């Protein structure tokens, strides 16, 4: 099983983090991102979107970090990280959507501007971050983990770009519940870090 | 089971559409959106995000249309629309992420500007649409349905705001495969429409 990976990408880190926490063996294939390897064949044959990560397991090819988490957890995670009950899966999916939209277009996009010089409207990323972070903080006031009473792929999906917020010029100091949740994630057995986290 | 609903919302329509296709009985509760009912208690007690739809089924309260689709399909859909195998679930989740991010911030956001006067950067919504629609069209060149060989909640999640693209000033004429897919969705037994579709 191969993960086409970019080390500074928080979306790739989602997958590396989960694989480490769930003790799933994944072969890392480093992609020459600056050289545009992900924007041309053979990588665009795997993912026409020209994005990373990409997971290849036999005949299965997956784009989108949230989908990869669902697959790894469902196929190799033993049920702990991606429950089988519909009402619990739905509670996890709420946060996969949040990771895909509000976190990606908020703190993750702010970091793309500051750290990598992307031509994205910084004010828009800050405005989106100023909405999602207080909602996340309030949600965590009475909970240890995002979706259910134990860590799930919801936490793995939301964690990277929230923990990397400072690299987009966003301080987490106002968000005490988020900071405590970050500490809890970091204390999980098998936790894997990345630069900036 | 209650759906807190707004008729012109494509996110609410995702849920109404799927409930109709899967013949699931949902009580519609119309929300006074213009009066801001979704921005104050008791609705913000159900969903602090101040958004619609919200689904309430007994003790379970769900925000996020993608999560609601997963729940309805898993709990009441008999497995046809949300498969149980991890590799198939992941293929569906790829498109739930696309609905949550690229479609929401592309065609859906363009419609929010044109139809409802939202203060969103229209050029950004058009630029995002100009990226996602060709990818979607190319994906559908060799496939009948988005995720697997039958219709799933992936199609229900992506369909509304793509089918409503004209209301954001976006023509689907260049995208013949998307237009044929829209026709296939509309031909499904039990299909429910909404104004603009």
**pLDDT tens for residues A166-191?**
999 999 999 999 999 999 999 999 99
* DSSP result, B126-144: HHHHHHHHHHHHHHTTS-S
Structure pTM? Answer: 0.98
The Cα B50–Cα B69 span in angstroms is 19
Give chain B positions within 8 Å (CB) of A139: 48
Share of chain A above pLDDT 70, in %: 100
Confidence check: pLDDT of B79 > 90:
no
Measured CA to CA in angstroms, residue A13 lies from A16, A33, A194, B110 at distances of 5, 15, 7, 31
pLDDT for residue B78: 86
Share of chain B above pLDDT 90, in %: 98
Under the banding of pLDDT at 50, 70 and 90, the label for residue A78 is: confident
Q: Which domains does chain B have, with CATH numbers?
A: 2-76 (3.40.30.10), 86-186 (1.20.1050.10)
Contacts of B133 (CB under 8 A, 6+ apart): B106, B107, B162, B165, B170, B172, B174, B175, B178
Contacts of A115 (CB under 8 A, 6+ apart): A8, A167, A168
pLDDT, tens digit, for every residue of A83-122?
999 999 999 999 999 999 999 999 999 999 999 999 999 9
pLDDT, tens digit, for every residue of B88-113?
999 999 999 999 999 999 999 999 99
| A163 sits in which H/E element | helix A153-163
pLDDT for residue B58: 98
Cβ atoms of residues A153 and A79 within 8 Å: no
Give chain B positions within 8 Å (CB) of A96: 66, 93, 96-97, 100
Confidence check: pLDDT of A79 > 90:
no
pLDDT for residue A175: 98
For chain B, the average pLDDT equals: 97
Give chain A positions within 8 Å (CB) of B94: 62-64, 66-67
Give chain B positions within 8 Å (CB) of A135: 48-49
Residue with tokens 């990598």: A116
Under the banding of pLDDT at 50, 70 and 90, the label for residue A133 is: very high
Average pLDDT over residues A124-140: 98
Q: Residue B4's beta-bridge partner residues?
A: B29, B54
Contacts of A26 (CB under 8 A, 6+ apart): A1, A2, A3, A15, A16, A19, A55, A72
Token pair listed for B59: 């003790």
Q: Do B66 and A97 touch (CB under 8 A)?
A: yes
Q: Which residue of B has its CA nearest to A93?
A: B67
pLDDT, tens digit, for every residue of B147-196?
999 999 999 999 999 999 999 999 999 999 999 999 999 999 999 999 99
A75 vs B82, B86, B105: nearest CB = B86
Under the banding of pLDDT at 50, 70 and 90, the label for residue A154 is: very high
């Amino acid at each position: 099983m191969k993960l086409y990976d970019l080390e500074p990408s928080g979306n790739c880190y989602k997958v590396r983090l989960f694989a480490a926490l769930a003790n799933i063996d994944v072969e890392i294939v480093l992609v020459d991102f600056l050289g545009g390897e992900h924007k041309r064949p053979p990588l665009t044959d795997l993912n026409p979107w020209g994005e990373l990560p990409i997971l290849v397991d036999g005949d299965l090819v997956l784009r989108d970090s949230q989908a990869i988490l669902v697959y790894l957890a469902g196929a190799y995670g033993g049920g702990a990280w991606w429950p089988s009950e519909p009402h619990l899966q739905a509670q996890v999916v709420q946060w996969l959507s949040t990771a895909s939209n509000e976190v990606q277009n908020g703190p993750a996009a702010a970091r793309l501007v500051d750290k990598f010089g992307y031509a994205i409207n910084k004010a828009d990323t800050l405005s989106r971050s100023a909405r999602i972070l207080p909602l996340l903080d309030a949600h965590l006031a009475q909970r240890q983990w995002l979706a259910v009473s134990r860590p799930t792929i919801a936490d793995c999906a939301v964690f990277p770009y929230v923990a990397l917020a400072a690299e987009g010029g966003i301080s987490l100091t106002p968000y005490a519940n988020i900071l405590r949740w970050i500490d809890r994630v970091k204390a999980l057995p098998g936790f894997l870090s990345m630069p900036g986290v």
